[in-house]
């Protein structure tokens, strides 16, 4: 069973109660006639059925890339208006108010998927649907963090994770990274010596660590199995809750030895809050994800959902349920993840890397080969610039960025992902506003979206921009 983490709850988390109106739903069984909850009458829903043409995951079709958009490679799925025995929720049910857990069939599908893929090591874990990892993360933070507290984060991280907590008065402490993401040694060192640095003297020891373990955004790094074990050992030793934000988990390129084990799969205490999303596996506009965590935390987030977002859109939930539960099944979804999503990004990643190698002078810029995700993290070797040391790093990077823009190629300035304090005159609206020293020598490129031809063009332009700036 999960350990008792009640003492980890924020004031908000500790005071979340069941909504009494939702509480009445448990009486809704058998012959009960409800004059209770103010559910709108389904006859007023102007939606008779919901159909979609979806990709077929039959093995012969998935492996055949010759006719990706032809109707021979698709199936038509339809969610009917009224209930059909043995089927997933009807449209009139999924468009109705419901519990803050999400609809039953999709939630159970996600739970079974987690069970098969991650084999949680304790009994009382559960799964809740969310509106994606952004939503899940905000609910986890609300449950755990009070104003004035700080969470531990990778030194380069997903900017929205920090932008979400900043206005709440929840701070962050960067932990050093290496090619495998957050360093377990650095994490342990920081916590073992907590309170010894002058700025930590009055601060409570952090209780929450936020990590993106696979295909990290922005660095593209993936934690090895050993690194995951080490991080979990430090989390146990220092009694941390781990928020495992893992949107790129299924974008792993080397799965010959199986998918890398998640932090959830190594958690024997119920201290990991795992965030999964369909944003990168199906489509971000679905706005459906799921949180896997101990049952106590699930109840708190469910109560939070019931007074805020309620549950993801009924259209999304019901269509995903029809596709995943009634058509693809666990096996079909796994096949789709392995043979479609993973393969697509693997090929894209290889292509961008090959273009980089063809067109970029490796003396001026390098990257570490990513083994998952959507990104490559490019280090610019400013030390080879003729004016290095006489002109600031920021000024050189700004010149390079401007040259790239002039040459029509856009990469994201690395400083945007930095956790270090920003200067007082920092202007978040200005993409160039943050070129400050020591933070400036990286650029993030994604292979997720551009066409293969565009990636080649982009790398030609990037290579030329570098050559021009370094010969100045």
Residue (222 or 277) nearer to ligand PLP, CB: 277
Binding to ligand PLP by residue 181, rule CB under 6 A? no
Residue (146 or 310) nearer to ligand PMP, CB: 310
Check the CA dihedral 342-344-349-351 and report its sign. positive
Binding test (CB under 6 A) with ligand PLP, winner from 5, 125, 156, 158: 158
* Residue 216: CB minimum distance to ligand PLP, A: 8
Binding to ligand PLP by residue 10, rule CB under 6 A? no
Residue (34 or 454) nearer to ligand PMP, CB: 34
Closest to 358 in 3D by CA, of 462, 445, 451: 462
* Residue 300: CB minimum distance to ligand PMP, A: 20
Neighbours of 218 (CB within 10 A): 26
Q: Out of ligand PLP, ligand PMP, none, which partner does residue 38 contact, by CB within 5 to 8 A per kind?
A: ligand PMP
What is the rounded distance in angstroms from the CA atom of residue 451 to the CA atom of residue 303?
44
DSSP state of 373: S
Binding to ligand PLP by residue 126, rule CB under 6 A? no
Find the angle CA(237)-CA(240)-CA(245) to the nearest 5 degrees.
130
Q: Where are the alpha helices (DSSP H) in 312-367?
A: 314-321, 329-336, 343-359
Q: Out of ligand PLP, ligand PMP, none, which partner does residue 289 contact, by CB within 5 to 8 A per kind?
A: ligand PLP
Q: Out of ligand PMP, ligand PLP, none, which partner does residue 277 contact, by CB within 5 to 8 A per kind?
A: ligand PLP
Residue (40 or 195) nearer to ligand PMP, CB: 40
Residue 136, classed as helix, strand or coil, is: helix
Please compute, for residue 427, the number of CA atoms within 13 A of its CA located in the half-sphere on the CB side.
Answer: 5
Binding test (CB under 6 A) with ligand PLP, winner from 90, 92, 94, 133: 133
* Residue 310: CB minimum distance to ligand PMP, A: 6
Residue 280, classed as helix, strand or coil, is: coil
Whole-Å CA distances, 185 to 157, 175, 204, 218, 452? 18, 10, 21, 21, 39
Binding test (CB under 6 A) with ligand PLP, winner from 102, 289, 370, 413: 289
What is the rounded distance in angstroms from the CA atom of residue 127 to the CA atom of residue 101?
8
Please identify which residue in the block is written with the tokens 């370094």: 470
Check the CA dihedral 58-59-65-66 and report its sign. negative
Residue (100 or 270) nearer to ligand PMP, CB: 100
Binding to ligand PLP by residue 269, rule CB under 6 A? no
Residue (158 or 345) nearer to ligand PLP, CB: 158
Q: Are 258 and 286 in contact (CB under 8 A)?
A: no
Find the angle CA(320)-CA(42)-CA(288) to the nearest 5 degrees.
20
Please identify which residue in the block is written with the tokens 């600031």: 392
Query: Shortest Cβ contact with ligand PMP: which residue?
Result: 38
Beta 272-277 vs 241-245: how paired, if at all? parallel
* Residue 102: CB minimum distance to ligand PMP, A: 15
- Written as six digits, the tokens of 338 are 């392995």
Give the footprint of ligand PMP on this chain (CB under 6 A). 38, 310
Residue (245 or 269) nearer to ligand PLP, CB: 245
Which residues have a Cβ under 8 Å from the Cβ of 165 and sit 6 or more positions away?
A: 141, 145, 151, 171, 172
Residue (174 or 463) nearer to ligand PLP, CB: 174
Binding test (CB under 6 A) with ligand PLP, winner from 100, 247, 370, 463: 247
Q: Site mask, ligand PLP, residues 86-105, x = CB under 6 A? A: --------------------
Binding to ligand PLP by residue 279, rule CB under 6 A? yes
SS3 content of the chain, % helix, strand, coil (to 5): 40, 15, 45
Q: Out of ligand PMP, ligand PLP, none, which partner does residue 394 contact, by CB within 5 to 8 A per kind?
A: none
Residue (210 or 470) nearer to ligand PLP, CB: 210
Find the angle CA(361)-CA(363)-CA(369) to the nearest 5 degrees.
80
Binding to ligand PLP by residue 132, rule CB under 6 A? yes
Residue (20 or 38) nearer to ligand PMP, CB: 38
Chain residues in the site for ligand PLP (CB under 6 A): 132-134, 158, 212, 217, 245, 247, 277, 279, 284, 289
């Amino acid at each position: 069973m999960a350990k008792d983490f009640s003492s980890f709850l924020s004031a908000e988390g500790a005071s979340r109660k069941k909504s009494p109106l939702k509480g009445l739903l448990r009486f809704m069984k058998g012959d009960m006639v409800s004059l209770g909850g103010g559910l709108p009458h389904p006859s007023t829903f102007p939606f008779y059925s919901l159909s979609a043409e979806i990709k077929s995951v039959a093995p012969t079709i998935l492996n055949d890339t010759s006719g990706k958009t032809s109707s021979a490679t698709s199936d038509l799925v339809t969610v009917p208006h009224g209930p059909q025995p043995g089927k997933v929720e009807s449209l009139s049910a999924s468009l109705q108010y419901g519990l803050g857990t999400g609809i039953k069939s999709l939630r159970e599908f996600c739970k079974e998927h987690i069970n098969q893929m991650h084999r949680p090591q304790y009994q009382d874990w559960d799964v809740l649907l969310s509106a994606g990892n952004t939503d899940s993360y905000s609910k986890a933070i609300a449950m755990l963090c009070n104003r004035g507290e700080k969470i531990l984060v990778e030194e380069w991280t997903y900017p929205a994770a920090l932008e979400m907590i900043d206005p709440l008065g929840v701070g962050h402490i960067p932990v050093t990274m290496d090619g495998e993401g957050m360093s377990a040694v650095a994490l342990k060192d920081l916590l073992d010596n907590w309170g010894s640095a002058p700025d930590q003297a009055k601060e409570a020891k952090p209780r929450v660590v936020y990590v993106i373990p696979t295909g990290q955004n922005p660095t593209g790094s993936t934690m090895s199995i050993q690194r995951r074990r080490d991080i979990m050992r430090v989390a146990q030793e220092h009694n941390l809750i781990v928020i495992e934000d893992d949107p790129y988990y299924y974008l792993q390129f080397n799965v010959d030895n199986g998918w890398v084990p998640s932090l959830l799969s190594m958690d024997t205490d119920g201290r990991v809050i795992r965030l999964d999303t369909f944003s990168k596996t199906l489509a971000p506009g679905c706005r459906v994800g799921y949180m896997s965590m101990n049952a106590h935390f699930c109840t708190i987030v469910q109560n939070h959902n019931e007074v805020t977002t309620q549950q993801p859109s009924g259209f999304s939930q019901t269509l995903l349920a029809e596709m995943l539960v009634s058509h693809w099944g666990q096996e079909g979804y796994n096949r789709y993840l392995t043979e479609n999503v993973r393969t697509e990004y693997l090929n894209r990643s290889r292509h961008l890397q090959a273009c980089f190698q063809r067109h970029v002078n490796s003396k001026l810029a390098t990257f570490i080969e990513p083994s998952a995700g959507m990104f490559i993290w490019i280090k610019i070797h400013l030390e080879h610039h003729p004016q290095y040391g006489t002109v600031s790093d920021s000024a050189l990077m700004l010149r390079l960025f401007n040259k790239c823009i002039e040459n029509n190629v856009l990469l994201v300035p690395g400083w945007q992902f930095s956790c270090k304090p920003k200067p007082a005159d920092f202007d978040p609206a200005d993409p160039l506003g943050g070129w400050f020293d020591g933070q400036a020598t990286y650029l993030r490129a994604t292979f997720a979206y551009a066409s293969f031809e565009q990636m080649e063009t982009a790398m030609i332009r990037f290579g030329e921009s570098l050559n021009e700036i370094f010969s100045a």
